[in-house]
Each structure stands twice: as C-alpha cells, then as structure tokens.
C-alpha cells in the first residue's frame, strides 16, 4: 500500500464521458468518448480529445487495468478492446469482429483478461462464439489459440487464468425443459470448471441448474425469469474459490475440488422475499420494452410474461456483484431499498467490514492503480470515471463519495 498523502497532492484522475452521437444515422445507437483530464494545477479542468471514430465507445463492457497501467475497455458493439494511457490518451484497439483467430465471433458476450505473467491478453466467448481461448500480445497480434476439449452445446461466460495448468471457466449448458400448462420452462446449467493447458476439463468445482427462461414454444421466443439466483465467483491468490448466489449473508470458500473450507459471514442485509408488486413491476417494464421494439413479437411470444404470476424464486438476490481486490479484500455490491442506490461493502478476507459506501454508481472496481466507477445518467448516458489510487483500498474507496459526475 502507498503511504498517506496530503489532499492537495492528489494526482489527476481522468474521466470518460460517453454520450450519443447525434450526427450518426438514427438507426445506429452510438456513444462517443470524450476524455476529460482533471488536474490540481491552478484548480483548472483540462479538456482534451476529439470525436475520433477510433476512440468511440458504443457499448463498453468490461474495464481492466493492464500490466502496463494502461486502461483496457472491451466494446461489444464493434468487438474491439480499446486501450488508453494512464493520462486518458487513446493508444490502439485490439481484436475486432470476425470469424478468424484473433477476432471476436460472438461480440456481445465475451470476456477478456491478462495472463499471470502479463505478456498476453486472452479472451473467451459465449454460445455461438469461438470454441477456444484466444491469446494475443499487447499490440493485438495473435499468439495462439487453445481449443476446448468439450462436447455438446455450451458457451463460456467468464474466464480466469490462475496459472498455465489452472484455467477457471464459467461454462453454461442447456439443461432440461419442463412444460407446465402452455408454458415451457427452459433450464440452464452453470458450471465453474478447471481446464488444463491442453484444453481438457480436470475438475468441476461448482455446478447449478435453474429454470432460466419461459416461452410458449420449445427453445425459442423466450424471456428470462426475474430474480434468478446469481453465480458470482472469484479466485483467491491461493487458488481457492469464493462463491455466492447473492441470497445469503455469507460467502462460501471452496478449495479447487469444490470442498467447502468455510463460510465467511458478511455484513449484508437478509435477502427480501419476491412480492406480487415485484412481479407486477417486472411485467410492466418488460411489456413496455418489447412493445416499443416489436409489438408483433410481443403478441406472439413476449406475452408469455403475463402468465408468470408466481415467482419460482422466493428471494431477491441482495448481493449483485463481488470482486476480490488486489490486496485480497472483498468488494460487494448490494441492493438497497432505493432502485437508484447501491451499497458497496469492502471487507477483509474474513468478512470484517472495512468501508461501507452508499452510492448511485452502478459499478465500482478497485485495481492496483485505479478506482473505476461507472454511472448511468438520467438521459441514459454512461459515464466512466477512473481515479488514480493514492493510499489504502479503504481510504481510496471513501474518496468515491467526493466524485461529482
């Protein structure tokens, strides 16, 4: 951890503001990246950057700090990983949409990361994506692909390389389908597996099968069921697994074989029951969404939601996100009574509360050098704020309260 510093010496955070590009065709939903550099020099705000198509962020998804301290942002719209310097300058983009090695085939559902030695970027893809892990050098040149030795229909939703022989993958499979009356309930299987350097599955650490979608027809025209328990996991420095489904006031710590080592009690509120009001509000939102996009589709398929009047799942997940921080602490994003606010709890690895922060930011991440903050604005813009780290994780996280976005 870095030493404490005087508040007047806090170095420059930089700010990514993303907004609609009204000069593009109306049929294209686009967001333009504006880089705003804030400094303490004379108290001035320095604004830089141009509406350069190379820099555009349209649907920014995962954001990581690279081994080089650059910021890597995956944009699912054009399937590029876009790289920015610690000063916010656009440097290059990596990947792109395509069928070949080194490209993203399933651009809207992909995950990326860095190998432990920091020499490679890797990415994985979901259903209908490439059936391999792609490895690139920091400039985006293809190094290799590692094919999975799996069978059947599957997709990889998340990935984490702990070492060459311990690659953690969240694999999703189609499960059974059950008909109740005129509704089909499709089940999906979530598995946390370990794969070796030859692409072979060595261990299934966790597995879970839940009903996930409903439809009037078999395997088609479906809608996701609300309040499904989550599948949140992280890997500790020792290679153990931290897991929660979001509905408990404890986290499970498992070894690599899936054996429970202990439950870690955490200071979160008890998950609340799903009420009739919750389901009514869900149906109203889904109906408005579909009718604004495709009324005929809703009439034929989407109206299945009107028959979903009793929730299969009894509790709403109270934990919405989890991160194991660089120092081994645990950062939890939790539901509050207000839809536009979240509780962020930073605990140590034994669940002891270090910091609690209530915030409108819908995503906060702690990296080695930065605090990364994301926010949806009232006019549906996305703002990404990246603040340079100055002290301990506890002290740097509390400074998020002072951010005015």
The pLDDT value recorded for residue 379 is: 63
Sequence-ordered list of residues with C-beta below 8 angstroms from that of 288, at least 6 positions apart, any chain: none
pLDDT reading at 10 higher than 70: no
Percent of the chain exceeding pLDDT 90 equals 68
pLDDT reading at 29 higher than 50: no
Sequence-ordered list of residues with C-beta below 8 angstroms from that of 246, at least 6 positions apart, any chain: 229, 230, 232, 271, 317, 318, 319, 320
Give me the sign of the Cα torsion angle 134, 154, 290, 232: negative
pLDDT reading at 355 higher than 90: yes
The pLDDT value recorded for residue 107 is: 85
Q: Provide the greatest CA pair distance for the chain.
A: 70
User: What are the beta bridge partners of residue 254?
Assistant: 241, 260
Instruction: Give, in order, the Cα–Cα distances in Å from 379 to each of 19, 31, 375, 376, 386.
Output: 9, 12, 11, 8, 21
CA angle 127, 92, 139 (to 5 degrees): 75
Residue environment code for 16-38, b if the CB has 16+ CB neighbours within 10 A, otherwise e: bbbbebeeeeeeeebbbbbbbbb
| Residues 207-243: tens digit of each pLDDT | 999 999 999 999 888 999 999 999 999 999 999 999 9
- Per-residue H/E/C for 319-356: EEEEEECCCCCEEEEEECCCCCCEEEEEECCCCCEEEE
* Bigger pLDDT: 54 vs 400: 400
**Domain residues of the chain, as ranges?**
275-310
The pLDDT value recorded for residue 292 is: 87
Q: Band the pLDDT of 158: cuts 50, 70, 90.
A: very high
Tell how far CA 223 is from the center of its chain: 21
The pLDDT value recorded for residue 324 is: 98
| Residues 306-346: tens digit of each pLDDT | 999 999 999 999 999 999 999 999 999 999 988 889 999 99
Percent of the chain exceeding pLDDT 70 equals 84
The pLDDT value recorded for residue 385 is: 83
The pLDDT value recorded for residue 339 is: 84
The pLDDT value recorded for residue 109 is: 87
Q: Band the pLDDT of 54: cuts 50, 70, 90.
A: low
Q: Band the pLDDT of 55: cuts 50, 70, 90.
A: low
| Residues 276-316: tens digit of each pLDDT | 999 999 999 999 988 888 899 999 999 999 999 999 999 99
* Average pLDDT value for residue range 239-250: 97
Kindly report the pTM of this predicted structure. Answer: 0.86
Give me the sign of the Cα torsion angle 51, 56, 57, 62: negative
* Bigger pLDDT: 167 vs 60: 167
| Residues 185-217: tens digit of each pLDDT | 999 999 999 999 999 999 999 999 999 999 999
pLDDT reading at 33 higher than 50: no
Sequence-ordered list of residues with C-beta below 8 angstroms from that of 208, at least 6 positions apart, any chain: 189, 190, 191, 229, 231, 245
* Average pLDDT value for residue range 50-68: 77
């Amino acid at each position: 951890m870095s030493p404490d510093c005087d508040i007047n010496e806090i170095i420059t955070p930089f700010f990514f503001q993303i907004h609609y590009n009204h000069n593009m065709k109306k049929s294209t939903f686009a967001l333009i990246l504006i880089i705003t550099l804030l400094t303490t020099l004379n108290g001035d705000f320095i604004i830089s950057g141009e509406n350069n198509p190379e820099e555009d962020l349209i649907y920014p998804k995962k954001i990581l700090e690279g081994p080089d301290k650059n910021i890597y942002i995956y944009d699912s719209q054009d399937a590029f990983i876009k790289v920015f310097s610690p000063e916010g300058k656009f440097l290059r983009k990596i990947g792109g949409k395509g069928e070949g090695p080194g490209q993203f085939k399933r651009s809207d559902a992909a995950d990326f990361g860095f190998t432990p030695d920091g020499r490679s970027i890797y990415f994985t893809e979901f259903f209908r994506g490439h059936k391999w892990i792609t490895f690139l050098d920091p400039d985006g040149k293809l190094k290799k692909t590692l094919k999975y030795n799996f069978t059947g229909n599957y997709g990889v939703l998340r990935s984490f390389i702990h070492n060459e022989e311990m690659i953690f993958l969240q694999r999703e499979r189609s499960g059974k389908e059950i008909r109740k009356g005129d509704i089909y309930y499709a089940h999906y299987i979530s598995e946390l597996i370990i794969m070796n350097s030859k692409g072979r599955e060595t261990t299934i650490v966790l597995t879970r099968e839940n009903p996930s979608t409903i439809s009037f027809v078999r395997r088609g025209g479906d809608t996701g069921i609300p309040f499904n328990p989550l599948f949140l996991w992280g890997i500790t420095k020792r290679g153990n697994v931290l897991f929660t489904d979001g509905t408990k006031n404890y986290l499970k710590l498992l070894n690599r074989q899936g054996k429970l080592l202990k439950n870690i009690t955490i200071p979160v509120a008890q998950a609340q029951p799903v009420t009739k009001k919750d389901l009514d509000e869900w149906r109203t939102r889904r109906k408005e969404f579909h009718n604004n996009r495709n009324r005929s589709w809703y009439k034929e398929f989407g109206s299945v939601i009107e028959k979903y009047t009793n929730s299969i799942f009894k509790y709403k997940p109270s934990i919405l996100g989890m991160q194991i921080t660089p120092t081994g602490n645990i950062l939890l994003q939790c539901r509050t009574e207000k839809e536009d606010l979240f509780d962020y709890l930073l605990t140590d690895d034994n669940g002891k509360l270090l910091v609690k922060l209530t915030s409108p930011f819908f995503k906060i991440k702690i990296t080695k050098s930065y605090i990364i903050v994301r926010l949806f604005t009232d006019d549906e813009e996305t703002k990404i704020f990246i603040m340079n780290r100055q002290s301990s994780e506890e002290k740097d996280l509390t400074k998020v309260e002072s951010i005015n976005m």
